[in-house]
Amino acid sequence: MRSWVLASGSKGNALVLESGGERLLVDCGLGTRTLARRLAIAGIAPQSIGALLLTHEHNDHTRGAAAAAAKWGWQVLASTGTLAAVRDLPSGCRLVLRHNATRALGAFEVTGIRVPHDAAEPMGFVVTARSGGARLGIATDLGEVPAPLLSAFERLDVLVLESNHDEGMLRAGPYPPYLKQRILARTGHLSNAACATALGSLVHARLRHVVLAHLSEVNNEPGLARRSATAALRRAGWRGVLHVAAQDAPTGPCGAPAAQLRLGLA
């Protein structure tokens, strides 16, 4: 299984996975033209995608969902609350995924895990390749990392986890007090420090790629997020590839065969 983060941040989010000649998209916060261009960089045609997974209904994760599902005939898998909150999805495309349940989608199995965020019914996902058993976990909008999510994210091959803000930059930055409080709340967004703490507990021999996602362009810097994560991963003795996902260009692929994998913190 291979994956690319096509975009990550407050302007739009999308991730694509490929296994056994089949593809899934996680979130669709890009317009159809931009999405098609990003997919082309990864060598993927949008019409080859079988289904779209939605973590929650916020616009930076669903902006292009309805148009893309209609244009390319995708099924859309999400929680009941998310599906109810997303407007204009084509009739007949909705598939419900319940918390802690697993659903087969072609070459993949998808498990949904509840996450704390200020949305209707948000989820993180574990996506498993049915051939070979490779596992990717993704959680990109959450105020804290609860124990059930840590448990679900054990024994991953690829981990995509939010590292949204540096708390000092956020507190000293230009956002109004109410917005700062929303971001800092347990249903807000994960700080670099909180991300690093979670990473330290998720290190194991199988994990080969860690992707830091959903970085704020105002309250964070890629170097700060990378240094925070690197320190935690080194303390845990991890040997793998650390990526920082970008807003304006694809990141990846993750999941290269072992012989092609560049070990060491990148």
Residue 265, pLDDT above cutoff 70: no
User: Residue 173 has what pLDDT?
Assistant: 98
Residue 258, pLDDT above cutoff 80: no
Q: How confident is the model at residue 31 (pLDDT cuts 50, 70, 90)?
A: very high
Residue 249 lies in a domain: yes
For residues 169 and 184, the answer to whether their CB atoms sit within 8 Å is: no
Residue 161 lies in a domain: yes
CA 106 to the chain's CA centroid: 20
Residue 223, pLDDT above cutoff 80: yes
Residue 144 lies in a domain: yes
Residue 131 lies in a domain: yes
Task: Supply the CATH number for residue 188's domain.
Answer: 3.60.15.10
Which of 39-43, 48-52, 91-95, 252-256 shows the lowest per-residue confidence on average (mean pLDDT)?
252-256
pLDDT digits (tens, 9 = 90+) for 134-172: 999 999 999 999 999 999 999 999 999 999 999 999 999
Domains: count for the chain: 1
Residue 115, pLDDT above cutoff 90: yes
- Please tell me the distance from the alpha carbon of residue 256 to that of residue 21, in angstroms, as a whole number: 15
User: Residue 20 has what pLDDT?
Assistant: 93
Residue with structure tokens 């999510």? Answer: 149
Residue 173 lies in a domain: yes
Residue 266 lies in a domain: no
Residue 265 lies in a domain: no
pTM over 0.75: yes
User: Residue 200 has what pLDDT?
Assistant: 96
- Please tell me the distance from the alpha carbon of residue 185 to that of residue 187, in angstroms, as a whole number: 5
The overall average pLDDT reported for the chain is 95
Residue 207, pLDDT above cutoff 60: yes
Domain of residue 190 covers 2-260
| Mean pLDDT value across residues 113-130 | 98
